[in-house]
Every structure is written in structure tokens, then in C-alpha cells.
Structure 1
Amino acid sequence: MEVLVTGGTGFIGEALVPALLDEGHSVTVLTRQSHPSPIAQARFIQELSELSESETPIDVVINLAGASLAAKRWNTEYKKKMVDSRVVLTQRLGEYFRSVKKRPAIWVNASAIGFYGPRNDEALTESADTGEGFAAQLCRDWESAAAEAAGDARLCLMRLGVVLDKSDGAYPQMAQPFKMGVANWIGDGQQWLSWVHRDDVVAAFCHAIESSDLRGPVNVTAPHPVTSRDFCEAMRKVHRTLLAVPMPGFVMRAMVGEMADELLITGQKVVPQALEASGFAFNHPEIDVALAAIEA
């Protein structure tokens, strides 16, 4: 199939694009980078206008684009950037595809478990209500824009957990204290971390394209979330540590501001009910298995 990927040079996209090519799809990547890293057989464009109706129509849209929630402190300017890079771009995609003769049949849109807001120990399936806060509102607006842009296409809203991989994302920062011999956890350590290995994220997106019955919200998290203390203990199995100390909540707030309360000090216990019901099998279902693979 002809697949358009936005954000195809980012943390997830750089692994997903080669996987799509390996499965025999033709891939066009919409990216803001002027000189993206070359990926054999993929086509790179910077503007939607570079897509031509005279060429083979797009069958699948995979919309990953969005400024990182954890890259900077959340001030007014950066919040606008996070919104525009997700919601506004998705609206532009919708406008473009409403103007062409043949619209995509499948739309796979990234979202995040921030949709649910802080929820303590509540087990959250895709049917759970939305939460409060900036991240939850951002996810709601993004998913709403995707639903409008997708039109009659089969829409999968991929609510990503904390994606772990050695090269990028949250893991290098999470692992740094352990590599220095210090095991730590955040606050009281009882908040839930709904994580997922990047390999399983890539497999889940490919699965979403092929699974005709999968639609609507899809939690992309490993089936066994862990607490911050559990994650600490799992990390100590792959890193030798000499000291174990908590990272107090007030220190996190001083370091990163509002982001601390929404993404770090609180958490969600998210369950991938839709994925598992559709027959998806995780390669890294347990945190010990995932960390061993990352550090291999």
C-alpha cells in the first residue's frame, strides 16, 4: 500500500519507516527536516503540495508528527508549539485529503495515555473517560482533529505510553542515574509507569494497518505496567548501583515545572485491551525482558 508518514524522522518514525518498507509498502515521509537521514526506497517531502494526484493515491496515513512533551519546560510558547505541531498539522492533513479524488482508507494517528490524566491505581482500558490537565486536553484536541481529518477512513488512535529504547526517548535520561551507580525513583515510588518497548510500538502500528477490525482508541502500552519503585528494581538488575534514593517531588517541580505533576510525579495504570483482543502479541511484555533487550 501507499503510506504517508508524518514525523517519519522522529524517535518512532525512524524505526517504523524501515519496517513498513520491509513489509512491502511504499512510503512517503512528510518531514520538516531539509536533509533527513536517508532511508532506502522511502520518498521525503516537506510540503503536502509535493503529493500529486497524478501519482498513486495514498492508501494509509500514519500521523506521528508532534513536538516532544518532555523536551522543554512548559511555558506558553512551547505549549503552543506542542498544540500546533499536532492539532494544526492534523487539520492541514484533513484539508488536503478532502481536496483529492481518492481519500485514504486507513488513518493511524498517534496520541498518548496523557489522555486519561492522573488516575492513581485505576486500571484504564480504552473505554476510560478522559482526565484533566494540559496533556489530557492536548490529546483530546488531537484525537478530535484526527477524527475529522480521517473522514470515513478506518481510524486508529494510538495512545502511546512511555516508549523505551536505548537510543532516544525517555530511557537515556531515566537510565543516567543508574549508570552512575545511583538507583532512584520519583516521589513515593507508587505511581504507575505504563511503558512499552519501541519495537512493540512499531509492530503495533504495522498491526493496526493490517487488522481490519481494529479501530478507535488503542492503548499502546505493555500489558504489565509497573510502579516507579518496580522500575527501579528492574533497572538494578541490569545496572550495578551502590546507592538507592528517591527523587523528591518538589525537586522535580523545581527542575521541570508543570510537566512534573502531569507526566512524572503522577501516572496511569493503562491496559492494552484493544490490541490484545485483536490478536497482537507483545515481544516485550515484561519490564525485565524489555530492559534486558535494551541493554543487550
Structure 2
Amino acid sequence: MTKSNHDQCSDYIAQTNLPTPIEESFAYHDRPGALQRLVPPWESVELEHSDNSLAVGSRVVMKTKVMGVPLRWVAEHTEYDPPNLFADTQVSGPFASWDHRHEFFKSDSDAGGSQLRDHIRYRLPMGQLGRIFGSGKARKTIEAMFAYRHRITRDDLQLSTDHPIEAMRVAVSGSSGMVGSSMSSLLTLLGHRVHPIVRSPDQDESSIAAWSSPEEAAKFDGVDAVIHLAGKSIASARWTDQIKSEIRDSRVIKTRQLCESLASLDNKPKVLICASATGIYGDRGEEVLNEDSAPHDDFLAEVAKEWEAACQPAIEAGIRVVNARFGIILSPSGGALQKTLTPAKLMGGALGNGKQWWSWMALDDVVGALYHAMATESVSGPVNFVAPASVRNRDFAKTLGRVLGRPALFPAPAFALRLALGEMADDLLLSSTRVEPAKLIQSGYQFRFTDLESFFQYSLGRNRLKSVQL
């Protein structure tokens, strides 16, 4: 850490090579939604206001917490020189002062890449007392934040480099959900135009109320790709006959109606990616499963089979259809990982006997693989969206506990899970589904995360990016 004798400020400089030319690297940061994508998922930060501009004078207001105390962080942009730099300063917030320059440089190599440099000069509050007691924690927080930001930026731009496609119009259902919101952000930052698919017409001219009227459905005309993720959550309530019916209908009926609308268009989308689930394989013990494995016959498997069959009108109309069979999607911001974090911090362990196989996939890989499937014409039919190496549930618990610094001591007995969740416990938590992503591997998708521990280190803020000396 370097300090100025004049103002006792600290400097932090993070530097990363990017695979894209300087213009594309800057544009990624200049597009709407960049800030939301770059906020680490473990941070308690909520974007309250932004005009989605880096122009001088524009402001960003975020809600955050420092040692559990809520506060607002207001930043104002002070420099804007595309594609070379933009800068912002703290107007009010957790630091006594904070000045941040985002600089972009052409790479010295012949590969056509660029270099991103974040240079922060900050001063802690409470003077000498703040430096003594807060400097270490502040530095670790900054190093973790920029380890995350630079990694996700580099990976996103590498994805764009691996798939050099023209800008597309992409309609996305479930765009407010965990996967849909991340996918919409990624598409926007890589230069595509996103049309949210909604249930009812709203004030957003870009949205499509797909199921409300023929006039709304006609807005799909000229859309290049449709990514259909919407459906009632399977884990939001104990399964009753009514809930099961709602789970089935929200997938099967809505998907069939959507596909019939797409099939009737004069200018049809080139590709439809429709969500499905590895639940189609059911509880299969030690069996290794791929896209050619036979489906099972329990509730979730039957729903998945009907869900995929509902895409037939689109297939018959000549639209390339991909059925994305999602495994357990991991992110601290939602889903299975978010639900297991608190028990893990309390030294919770395996579910049941812990021998069941969990086929997982990092959220960043889910959206990366969706982008890959959208851009790769050879990909069609059922595709398993899972990491190459499934893990046993007991190893999942041990790995998470190790990253959190907590031993996984206390298992959750199967009978207790069944008592609390009913049928859902067997189908979602205790079943063993060992799935391989054969089609993703064969089609050349480059996984961001194949090792569970490295993913936990990344997504839970355990990685550090040290400051460089210029």
C-alpha cells in the first residue's frame, strides 16, 4: 500500500489483459447494466438510481451496508474519454474520499487485445483511527471486489471473442429471474438488443406480451432468437395437487402457445432456447447420464418430457430448438447455494446420507452456455447444462464448509427433510442424478468453472487481486 504524505490517501491499481480491442472493451463498460453485472454477488449492494450513462455529471446511487449499518453511496462521473477512460468520484458514502479511474490501453501483442486498469485513490474515515482499525479490511474488500470484476469482464469478453456474431434482437422470458436477468445483462453488454417477454402489456416499448393478444405476439416478427426461461418455481411451496398443476401448466401450456405464435410468423427467429431440467432423468443412483439417456417416470420427469414436447410446433416450422436441461444452478444471489449458505455457516452438513450425486453449474456458465447455444448453429435438441464433474452432496457440503472456514458437521436427516418438504425433498434434494454435458463439450463450449471449490472461492469473495506497481 502506498500513501501520500499530504493527504494520507491509499492507492490501489488492478490490471488485467482483455481479449478484445480497446473499443469493444470500453463499450462493454459503457452499455446499460454494466454496473449491475460487475457488483460482486456476496456484497450487500442495491442499485437505487442510475441513468445508465458514464457522461460527466451523471450520478449513481447505491444502497449498501458497512458493518451491518445501511447507507447510501453516491458517485458522480468526472471524466469521459472513450475508448480511453472514464472516472468517477464519491460524493457521499463509506469512504472519506474515493476517486476511481477506469483506463483502457491497446495491447502490445499482435493478438488485438487490450488492457484494463482500475486505479483507485481512497481515504478512510475517522483519520488515524480509521487507518489503524479499518485499512486491512478495506484493502481485502477492494482486492476481492476487483478480483471478481476483472474475472467476469475477461470471461464475458472471451465469450464474445469465441462467438463473433452480428448484433441480434433477442427475446427473453423470465427476464427478472436469476438466470433471465443475468442473461439479459450479458446480452446487452455484448451489444445485443433484449426484448423482455412479459405476461401483460406495459410501458416498455421493447417488451413483448407474448400471451396477451395476436398483436403482441406479432412483435416477435424479426426477432433473431428467443430464450424462454419462465415457469412457476418448483421450490416455492410444498407440492400439492394444485401446485403440481400450476408447475406443469406454466411450462407446458405457455411453451406450446409461444411456439405456435413463433411458427406463424413470416420472419421467424433462427433459434428458440427453451428451459428444461435434468429432473427428466429422475433418481438414477450411480448411472452416468447424457442427452441420450432415457427419461424417468416421476413427476418432474413427466413435466420435463411434456415441456420439451411442447416445442414441436417451432421445430416443425424450421426453427432450431435447444432444450436446456438445467442442473443445480449455483449463485450466492439465489437458488440452491443461497439457501445452503446459512446452514453451512452454522456447520450444516450433508442432506440425508449425502451419497446422492448433484449435477451443478455456475450461473456464469449457465448464461455463457446459453449464449454459446444461441450462437452455435450445430447445437440443437436436448442439451445438459451442467459442469463436467458432478459431486456427491456430502462433498458439496464439505467443500462449501472449507471455503467458508466451517466444518460440515451436522447432516440433515432424510426423514426430517421429508417431514418439512414432502415429495419435494426426494425429487429435489435426495435424488441422485449424475449428468454429463456431452453436447456442450462436443460443440466446443469453454467452461468458466469445472471445479466446485474454485467456483466457491470466486463467487463468495475469497479470491484477491493484488495491487500492481506502475
Higher relative contact order (CA 8 A, sep 6+): 1
| Stretches of structure 2 lacking an aligned partner (at least 5 in a row) | 1-167, 462-470
Q: 1:54 to 1:236 in 2, by over 3 A?
A: closer
Deviations 1:195-230 (A, max 9, x none): 100000000000001111111111000111100111
Aligned equivalents of 1:11, 1:32: Cα separation in 2: 18
RMSD: 2.0
Q: 1:34 to 1:52 in 2, by over 3 A?
A: closer
Asked if the contact 2:174–2:197 (Cα under 8 Å) also holds between the matched residues in 1, the reply is yes
Partner of 2:153: none
Letter in 1 for 2:329: V
Partner of 2:280: 115
Asked if the contact 1:221–1:270 (Cα under 8 Å) also holds between the matched residues in 2, the reply is yes
Q: 1:219 to 1:259 in 2, by over 3 A?
A: same
1:284 aligns with 2:442: no
Aligned equivalents of 1:55, 1:70: Cα separation in 2: 31
Following superposition, the deviation at residue 34 of structure 1 comes to 8.0
Partner of 1:18: 185
Following superposition, the deviation at residue 95 of structure 1 comes to 2.3
Letter in 2 for 1:172: Q
Partner of 1:76: 241
Q: 1:33 to 1:287 in 2, by over 3 A?
A: farther
Partner of 2:55: none
Asked if the contact 1:90–1:149 (Cα under 8 Å) also holds between the matched residues in 2, the reply is no
Aligned equivalents of 1:54, 1:245: Cα separation in 2: 53
Deviations 1:56-111 (A, max 9, x none): 61221111011111111111111111111111111111221233212222111110
1:295 pairs, out of 437, 443, 460, with 460
Q: How many residues align?
A: 291
Matched-pair identity in %? 34
Asked if the contact 1:2–1:56 (Cα under 8 Å) also holds between the matched residues in 2, the reply is no
Q: What pairs up with 1:40-79 in 2 under 5 angstroms?
A: 43-48=206-211, 49=213, 51=216, 53=218, 57-79=222-244
Asked if the contact 1:194–1:270 (Cα under 8 Å) also holds between the matched residues in 2, the reply is yes
Asked if the contact 2:259–2:312 (Cα under 8 Å) also holds between the matched residues in 1, the reply is no
Q: Greater shift after overlay, 50-59 or 280-289?
A: 50-59
Following superposition, the deviation at residue 24 of structure 1 comes to 2.3
Deviations 1:177-207 (A, max 9, x none): 112x223111111100101000000000000
Query: 3-state DSSP class of the match of 2:183?
Result: helix
Aligned equivalents of 1:200, 1:75: Cα separation in 2: 33
1:239 pairs, out of 398, 404, 410, with 404
Aligned equivalents of 1:28, 1:144: Cα separation in 2: 25
The structure with the largest alpha-carbon Rg is 2
- The TM-score with structure 1 as length reference comes to 0.92
Q: 1:33 to 1:93 in 2, by over 3 A?
A: closer
Q: Greater shift after overlay, 239-248 or 81-90?
A: 239-248
- The TM-score with structure 2 as length reference comes to 0.59
Following superposition, the deviation at residue 146 of structure 1 comes to 1.5
Asked if the contact 1:107–1:150 (Cα under 8 Å) also holds between the matched residues in 2, the reply is no
Q: What pairs up with 1:203-282 in 2 under 5 angstroms?
A: 203-241=368-406, 244-282=409-447
Deviations 1:131-177 (A, max 9, x none): 12100000000000023334311111110000000111121111211
Q: Which has the higher strand share?
A: 2
Deviations 1:250-293 (A, max 9, x none): 11101110111111111200000100111101111111011111
Aligned equivalents of 1:10, 1:237: Cα separation in 2: 29
